Structure 1
């Protein structure tokens, strides 16, 4: 069907904007990829509850990192929130102590995610975070997260029908912006 990517920094209004894009839909599957609210972190629990309070009661919720089957079998629009917590969950499963294994797991799971987004029979709105606008992390695991999320965001943007950047509560439509090529064309030398 179609994919809309909503990206931006933390607390910029991305999720609210994504929800607004689907507000006219009677039924939506909210695909939550983050940790559960009952994991013992009160601040995280409040974030999850604030998302729940905003959503219409008719929207269904699926909490999982295994997003591919949900996307492929959906019969109503899907709001996937978000790629950053999804990537964290995939690396959590692979283990942060073996970053080579984490990279390998991510390659496989990202390919599956991209395939599922292309094959989704419904409209999908994907929320993600933009990271890396500041310092390079001092840890290998921080750099892995930043690099892999940047690559994932670019890949999803490349297949998306629409791309919105939300910054400071403002929405910029990047849909018509040119894509960065994967590589430069070969240089020719003039004789």
Structure 2
């Protein structure tokens, strides 16, 4: 494992594949920018989070953060990030970008992406999970187009900093580079 970007559609097996790339017998850092699970508010989301947590080896430390760049830069053990699609969503939420003009948040977004790419390029062992957004229809909703556009930019930038990109289709990996 070096720097690997794992992409694919929803429920394609991305997370399981990415987890298998990290040595389960050694310490690792599992970075998640996801929303905290609240079983009362969203039992289905909470069940998904629990399933991910149950698969993680005991020696892995979980960190919930939006500041992926800082955590990756400080890591002294392998890092797994799951997932960049959630990270983009949370960033856009934090700036209320869904209805705001890009001039209000675009520079902040570019800065965060640049910080992430630099951290990935310097990290000796990092696996990042993302969603593939390039095969669907162009959304009729501004928020859908905004998400796809920004995640597509992030995926391209992070892929350029990685040694390998793997596409998961129906649980099967296809190495792209």
Report TM bin, short chain. over 0.9
Aligned to 1:158: 160
**CA deviation digits over 1:122-166, x for unaligned, max 9?**
300000000131211111121010011111111111121011110
Indicate the residue corresponding to 1:105 in structure 2: 108
Q: Residue 42 and residue 99 in structure 1: after superposition, are their counterparts in 2 closer, same or farther (change >3 A)?
A: farther
Which fold has the larger relative contact order, with Cα–Cα distance below 8 Å and residues 6 or more apart in sequence? Answer: 2
Unaligned runs of 5+ in 1: 176-191
Q: 1:168 to 1:99 in 2, by over 3 A?
A: farther
1:11-50 Cα shifts (integer Å, max 9, x gaps):
0000000000013441110001111112721111111111
The residue number in structure 1 matching 2:26 is 26
Cα contact 2:2–2:126 (8 A) shared by 1: yes
Which residue pairs with 1:44 in the alignment?
A: 45
Q: Distance in 1 between matches of 2:167 and 2:7?
A: 5
Q: Larger deviation: 38-47 or 66-75?
A: 38-47
Distance in 2 separating the partners of 1:6 and 1:88: 18
Q: 1:141 to 1:102 in 2, by over 3 A?
A: farther
Q: If the length of structure 1 is used for normalisation, what is the TM-score?
A: 0.86
Question: Which structure is larger by alpha-carbon Rg, 1 or 2?
Answer: 1
For the aligned residue pairs, the C-alpha RMSD in angstroms reads 1.5
CA contact (8 A) 1:99 1:141 kept: no
Corresponding residue for 1:167? 169
